[in-house]
Amino acid sequence: MGLMNSANLSGRRIQHYAVLSLIGSGAMGDVYWARDERLRRDVAVKALTATTGRRPRRGGPPAEALALSRLCHPHIAAIYDFLRHHDQELIVMELVAGATLKDVLAGGPLPVAEVVRLGRQLVSGVAAAHAANVIHRDIKPANLKITSSGVLKILDFGIAALSPVDGPDTVHDGSSGLALVGTVPYMAPERLRGEAADARSDVFSAGAVLYEMAAGRRAFPQRPIASLVEAILGADVTPLAMANPLMPVELDRVLMRAMAREPGRRQQSAQELLAALESVPTEPAGAATRLRPSNRRLVAIRRSALEMPPKTRIPAGLRGLAAFDALGTRHPA
DSSP H/E element including 33: strand 29-36
Q: Report how far residue 127's alpha carbon sits from residue 182's, in angstroms, rounded to the nearest whole number.
A: 19
Q: Are 66 and 161 in contact (CB under 8 A)?
A: no
The active-site residue, picked from 138, 198, 202, 252, is 138
Q: How far is CA 294 from CA 67, 76, 93, in A?
A: 35, 25, 31
Q: Report how far residue 201's alpha carbon sits from residue 206's, in angstroms, rounded to the nearest whole number.
A: 9
Q: Kindly provide the b/e burial profile for residues 279-291, where b requires at least 16 CB atoms within 10 angstroms of the residue's own CB.
A: ebeeebbeeeeee
Q: Report how far residue 140's alpha carbon sits from residue 198's, in angstroms, rounded to the nearest whole number.
A: 17
319 burial type by CB count under 10 A (0-12 exposed, 13-18 middle, 19+ buried): middle
* 3-class DSSP state of 328: coil
Q: Which residues, listed in sequence order, are joined to residue 91 by a DSSP beta bridge?
A: 46, 82
Q: Which long-range contacts (CB under 8 A, 24 or more apart) does 280-284 make?
A: 280/112, 280/116, 280/248, 280/250, 280/251, 280/254, 281/112, 281/248, 281/250, 282/112, 282/113, 282/116, 282/117, 283/112, 283/113, 283/248, 284/111, 284/112, 284/246, 284/247, 284/248
Query: Catalytic site residue 138?
Result: yes
- 137 φ/ψ sector (left φ>0, alpha ψ -120 to 50, else beta): left
Among 59, 259, 30, smallest CA distance to 158 is for: 30
Q: Report how far residue 275's alpha carbon sits from residue 196's, in angstroms, rounded to the nearest whole number.
A: 25
Catalogue the active-site residues.
Answer: 138
